[in-house]
Amino acid sequence: MSRRILLVEDEPGLVLTLTDRLVAEGYDVESEGDAVRGLARGSTGNFDVILLDVMLPGGSGFDVCRTLRQRGIQTPIMMLTARGQVVDRVVGLKLGADDYLIKPFEMAELLARIEALLRRGSAPVSSPAVGETFRFGEISIDFRRAEVTKSGQPVELSAREFKLLRYFVEHRGAALSRDELLNEVWGYNAMPSTRTVDVHVAWLRQKIEDNPRHPQYIHTVHGLGYKFVV
Ligand code: CA
């Protein structure tokens, strides 16, 4: 069975060249030309590798990458970045991309990297692994569906609250500074203040703690930030 590649790229010439060559190599190739469609298509999980341009109409490839990982999609992702976006490389890998290639690249290089990603398979490479579901107390989190219940009742969390909760779960037991939470949950290009973290933690406590004034799970670490304990 052919391996399926999703190409998210907005330069028609490059889409044409890459598609021709990858098809000639025996791959099934589908392409999308903007961030929104790329995210939707990638979210199906129907691909073996995703080639993801960084500068896309409708959004950044980094955001697409991050959102795919948040949705539990573990398809290997190779970012395609323009020359000079060196800093992006680090950011991309941090957001859950598996590899990157700087344009213009040699086709042979691309093919070799794709094969390497396929060999590696879809093993999770991003954040510390948590299962598809995680339970503590009366709370149950379904990471794949991004759903939380408390005593069997749905808990409505914003995307940010969910991400914050996920980060807590993945780093349970660790003292997490407000700066770290800002970087990891809000992202490298966001500039909210650390006060933002406190506000969201307060909201999260309201939703998951039995007594938010005396939190059982999300503890305050004075002078630093928070610690999630289960
Ligand atoms: Ca582009």
Show the domains of the chain with their CATH numbers.
4-122 (3.40.50.2300), 133-228 (1.10.10.10)
d(CA 9, CA 7): 6
- pLDDT tens digits, one per residue of 133-184: 888 888 999 888 888 999 999 999 888 899 999 999 988 888 888 888 988 8
pLDDT of 127 above 50: no
- The DSSP bridge partners found for residue 51 are 7, 78
Sign of CA dihedral 90, 92, 97, 99: negative
| Structure confidence at residue 140 (pLDDT) | 92
d(CA 44, CA 16): 23
- Cα 189 to middle of ligand 1, angstroms: 19
- Cα 216 to middle of ligand 1, angstroms: 47
Of 167 and 92, the one with more pLDDT: 167
| Structure confidence at residue 53 (pLDDT) | 95
- Cα 18 to middle of ligand 1, angstroms: 14
Burial class of residue 196 (count of CB atoms within 10 Å of its CB; 0-12, 13-18, 19+): middle
Q: Coil, strand or helix: which one is 5?
A: strand
Q: Coil, strand or helix: which one is 177?
A: strand
- Cα 92 to middle of ligand 1, angstroms: 15
- Cα 81 to middle of ligand 1, angstroms: 8
- Cα 101 to middle of ligand 1, angstroms: 13
26: left (phi over 0), alpha (psi -120 to 50) or beta: left
- Cα 8 to middle of ligand 1, angstroms: 9
If you average pLDDT over residues 91-109, what whole number do you get? Answer: 82
d(CA 224, CA 16): 51
- Cα 9 to middle of ligand 1, angstroms: 6
Of 120 and 26, the one with more pLDDT: 26
**Mean of pLDDT over the chain:** 86
